[in-house]
Amino acid sequence: MGDDPLVVRVQNLRALREVSWSPSGVCALVGGNGSGKTTLLLVPKLLRAALDQDLAQAVTNVFGGSLGLAHRGHEDEPITVGLDVGDLSWSVRLVPSGGSVATRTEELLRRGDEEIVSTAPVGSLLHRGKELRPDARLALARVVENGSPDPDAETVVSRIRTMSVFHDLDLHTLRRGSDASMDRHLTSRGVNAITMLRRWHQSRPERHRYNFVLEGLRQAFPDQVVDLDFQQAGRTLVAQFYARGNETPTPIANEANGVLAMMALLCAVAGSEERGFVAIDEPETALHPYAIRCLLRSVREWARQHKLTVVMATHSPVVLDEFTACPSQVYVMGSERDRPGPIAVDQLKNPQWLAQFRLSELQMTDELSTNAHVQ
């Protein structure tokens, strides 16, 4: 089911009153401050963390607890998050409790009218009519780890595990080096990008990931980055860069923020699994416009080759202009009850009217808004 469409569903979570969203390919997500872009991108991170930990710990780590978790003015209504994968639909309810959420909650996996996995806040866990003993884990994880294979539950779990989210890049920590032991996957703030790069460089089956990152750096910074290598002291691994015409490398501690940000963002995409989902919040941070354009070209090519969905939440006119020829790939956060967002720009505006403008021009005049006049 790797090719089945993926739909992210959210109800009543922070700024998100109602969301039903199925992005594909390389997309931009836009909207005003406080419209819910970051919250939406954090939902996949929450789901993946809940599989690896438990629901309460995941909500604490991702959202800082239950304070302000419900949509303002609707605190008494249910908060739910979930995914549709093809004709499978899975959802879990977030019930504020003790500063986070309850670990025993309502959870449902179904195909049409058939309930495959279901739970209630008090009571047993049912898997295809058979009762299992619940624990602190998501029922979905409990079923998959029960020892009795269930292809439907495994399909949803496997898709969640291909979802990765990157935000608030910690360039200050990355500048000091990466922990050499953190080589399983890139963290959401990119602090172990150097370690991941070295692992890919040393592994022939994964060398293409390293080559992709290095080539992207060369394109964005042709005079600053020709090659790189690694040095380790204790558990700290650092990188150093070779500039054009200079045999003496520059340590990463002395490199520009843009080089570090570009390296981390390229690693975020390169480390994704085939047919995976990658979300990046404000990729333009620290990048020169030319580097932003190079990043998007690299990301589009990698996404095409590996069938990725890459979503970039952005305020950048430069990023938006790179999508002018494909407005169907730009989504605007919705605020209207009868039009649950995000909504593709070419559904908000007449495509012929859109063709007269660059998207950045429409952004500057607030025409890229679900409340703006529909052309």
Longest dimension (CA), the chain: 69
Tell whether domain 165-319 is in CATH 3.40.190.10.
no
With contact defined as beta carbons under 8 Å apart, do 321 and 358 qualify? Answer: yes
| pLDDT at residue 364, as a whole number | 85
Question: Is the per-residue pLDDT at 335 higher than 70?
Answer: no
pLDDT band at 375 (very low <50, low <70, confident <90, very high): very low
For the entire predicted model, the pTM comes to 0.93
| pLDDT at residue 204, as a whole number | 97
pLDDT band at 338 (very low <50, low <70, confident <90, very high): very low
pLDDT band at 1 (very low <50, low <70, confident <90, very high): very low
Question: Is the per-residue pLDDT at 371 higher than 90?
Answer: no
Question: Is the per-residue pLDDT at 103 higher than 60?
Answer: yes
With contact defined as beta carbons under 8 Å apart, do 360 and 317 qualify? Answer: yes
Q: With 0-12 CB in 10 A as exposed, 13-18 as middle and 19+ as buried, what is 125?
A: buried
Structure tokens that stand for 347 in this block = 């559904």
Distance, CA of 230 to CA of 336 (rounded, Å): 51
Give 106-155 pLDDT, tens digit per residue.
Answer: 999 999 999 999 998 776 899 999 998 888 889 999 999 877 789 999 99
| Segments in the chain forming alpha helices (H) | 37-52, 55-63, 139-144, 151-161, 171-176, 193-202, 207-220, 257-270, 289-306, 317-321, 345-348, 351-354, 359-364
Residue type, 219: Q
Return all residues near 83 (Cβ < 8 A) that are at least 6 apart.
6, 7, 8, 9, 47, 89, 90, 156, 159, 160
Distance, CA of 283 to CA of 280 (rounded, Å): 6
Residues 55-71: what's their mean pLDDT? Answer: 95
Return all residues near 1 (Cβ < 8 A) that are at least 6 apart.
85, 86, 88, 155, 159
What secondary structure does DSSP assign to 115-155, as a single string?
A: EEEE--SSS-EEETTEEE---SS-HHHHHHTTSS--HHHHH
With contact defined as beta carbons under 8 Å apart, do 37 and 31 qualify? Answer: yes
With contact defined as beta carbons under 8 Å apart, do 181 and 243 qualify? Answer: no
- Which position has the higher pLDDT, 3 or 332? 332
| pLDDT at residue 368, as a whole number | 76
Q: What's the angle, vertex CA 27, arms to CA 314 and CA 360, rounded to 5?
A: 50
Distance, CA of 1 to CA of 281 (rounded, Å): 27
80: β partners: 11, 93
Question: Is the per-residue pLDDT at 68 higher than 50?
Answer: yes
Taking the CA atoms of the chain, what radius of gyration do you get in angstroms?
22
| % residues pLDDT > 90 (the chain) | 81
Give 140-197 pLDDT, tens digit per residue.
Answer: 999 998 777 899 999 999 999 999 999 999 999 999 999 999 999 999 999 999 999 9
* Three-state SS at 369: coil
Specify the residue for token string 């093809």.
86
| pLDDT at residue 223, as a whole number | 95
